Amino acid sequence: MHAVVMHETGDPGVLLYEETARPQPGEGEVLIRVRAASVNPIDWKYRRGYIPKDLPAILGNDVSGTVELSRAEWFSAGDQVFGIAAGGAYTEFASTPSALIAIKPAAISHEQAAAIPVAALTAWQALFDRAKLEQGQTALIAGAAGGVGHFAVQFAAQAGARVIGIGSPRNEEFVRGLGAAEYIDYTSQDVAEAAGDVDFAFDTVGAEMTQTLLPAVRSGGVIVLIAGAPPEQEASARGVRAERLIMSPSSDQLAHIAKLVADGEVHVEIAETIPLQEAARAHALSESGHTRGKIILTV
């Protein structure tokens, strides 16, 4: 089989499309013939060596495809599935534990399904597992047009929250179209001043954005961070709960979100669909930091 293999850390050019051994699924695992994968920023952070990884490595988490061989109770050869590929997703065949995948609804494409796992699970868990967002609350979402953010805006709006999206000017119309009642252009506006008191802030950006978001959260509110460290001291001084989230795979949540997409309640934005052989180009695009929605790799 072919896969995109990284033998060393560095520029996108270290991603090499080459022949490699097909993985053998262990007990409780399925082998997936991959139709689509997606790129998450963590992939290029591994590639850069910012996060250590054993080499050689096949990068990527998100896959959608067809079960080629099942050694798991709930899945059979021929099932259309999507989820997280434990051994890497930038490949023609991925082996993964069945607990990390779910059945792909027929109404959604492999490209849409591959966009969901990491980004949508992270958004879902930030809003509902951590912040316990409720109807009528105000949610301030940074990186609102990004992979995670564009799901978060839709989930929060559908839960009945008033959503304030943050992004650059070119994304305003897009984010409002996803359900945001208000939009703050971080390139020209003071975020805390424009947002007022919010119940929940979702920081998908980190660094300076964290400092900008914190003063907007009311005492007793919560800020959930997925990039960067929580500002624990400043948060507690303001009576704000600050939590760092590391996404946990959940096949139940995957199935629930896929149904929302299949029913037309959630839109999956695909920035670009790129052949697997051109994974290096996809990485360069993701690393630019201004993707709208998700970048998909097709096999």
Ligand X SMILES: NC(=O)c1ccc[n+]([C@@H]2O[C@H](COP(=O)([O-])OP(=O)(O)OC[C@H]3O[C@@H](n4cnc5c(N)ncnc54)[C@H](OP(=O)(O)O)[C@@H]3O)[C@@H](O)[C@H]2O)c1
By CB under 6 A, is residue 122 in contact with ligand X? Answer: yes
Nearer to ligand X, 79 or 287 (CB): 287
CA atoms of 88 and 5, how far apart (whole Å)? 10
Among the listed ranges 86-94, 140-148, 262-270, 275-283, the one in contact with ligand X (CB under 6 A) is 140-148
Q: Which of 115, 119, 192, 201 binds ligand X (CB under 6 A)?
A: 119
User: Considering all CA atoms of the chain, what is the largest pairwise distance in Å, rounded to the nearest integer?
Assistant: 56
Helix (H, G, I), strand (E, B) or coil at 290: coil
Q: Which tokens go with 60?
A: 């990527």
Residues binding ligand X: what is the number (CB under 6 A)?
29
> What's at 212, amino acid-wise?
T
CB of 105: closest distance to ligand X in angstroms? 23
Contact positions with ligand X (CB under 6 A) in 258-297: 286, 289-291
Cα end-to-end distance, the chain, whole Å: 11
By CB under 6 A, is residue 173 in contact with ligand X? Answer: no
Residue 106: C-alpha distances to residues 103, 109, 277 (Å): 9, 7, 26
Q: Which of 81, 85, 133, 148 binds ligand X (CB under 6 A)?
A: 148
Among the listed ranges 8-16, 97-105, 153-161, 243-251, the one in contact with ligand X (CB under 6 A) is 243-251
CB of 299: closest distance to ligand X in angstroms? 21
CA atoms of 143 and 178, how far apart (whole Å)? 13
* Degrees to nearest 5, angle at CA 10 with 58 and 96: 15
Binding site for ligand X (CB under 6 A): 40-42, 118-119, 122, 142-143, 145-149, 167-168, 171, 186, 204-205, 209, 226-227, 245-247, 286, 289-291
